[in-house]
Amino acid sequence: MSHVLILRAPGTNADQETAYAFQLAGATSVEILHINSILETPTILDRANILCIPGGFSFGDDIAAGKIFALKIKNHLTDLLRQFYNDDKLILGICNGFQVLLKSGLLLEEDSEGSIATLTWNLSVRYIDRWVHLRTEKSNSVFLRGIESMYLPIAHAEGRFVLRDNVTQPLQQLALRYDSEENPNGSILDVAGVCDVSGRIFGLMPHPERHVDYTQHPNWTRKSPNNARKHHGDGLAIFQNAVSYFQ
């Protein structure tokens, strides 16, 4: 039984798409809640075993992308979400959600000097909206099981993954990379997604929820309709993996 809680904030705009992706993947239930609901009634988390922070521009991306959302989690929900994780549950962050997971310290634990990695401005210093080819790395990520490559859209201005000087530990947790010939933002080692050491927390910049149906592929009209209908979009497998973890 997979019960999904999608955590949104002012400025989140991919919550409905993400909910649909989990529903299509066979989730038992999917609920979208504002972060204030969790702050007011923390026990709401007890009814979910998958937590997802979707894409968008939480709190207008003031200060930095995902920073305010991350601070709310760090200051008020860290212990609660650590317990959620310790109960063998899953946490997924997509685009802005990836930024939140990194900046809250949930995905990669901070050391005595603070964050060891972050997502910052693209090298172009511009917002990028395009499709990219991706390849998975050998990892224990629950979300990427059985996936070797994907073609997904990206839409971000602050998606460049960087490490603090002399830090190498996260390099062992790289799970998803851009095709090296089309790294869109200048991320170190073409990083597009990172998982925690257990594989149960995963953050990625591309949007799998925007390619769960074959008609969402930019070239779908050029494919044979009969053949295309036999396949879902590349992104659906990520949600199916999360749902099947509890079956």
Just list the catalytic residues: 95, 207, 209
Radius of gyration of the chain measured on its C-alpha atoms? 17
What are the counts of helices (DSSP H) followed by strands (DSSP E) for the chain? 7, 11
Report d(CA 18, CA 21) in Å as an integer: 5
Residue matched to tokens 């923390």: 42
Instruction: Please state, in angstroms and rounded to a whole number, the distance separating the CA atoms of residues 166 and 189.
Output: 15
β-strands 3-8, 50-53 pairing: parallel
Residue 167: CA count within 13 A, CB half-sphere: 19
DSSP 9-21: -TTB--HHHHHHH
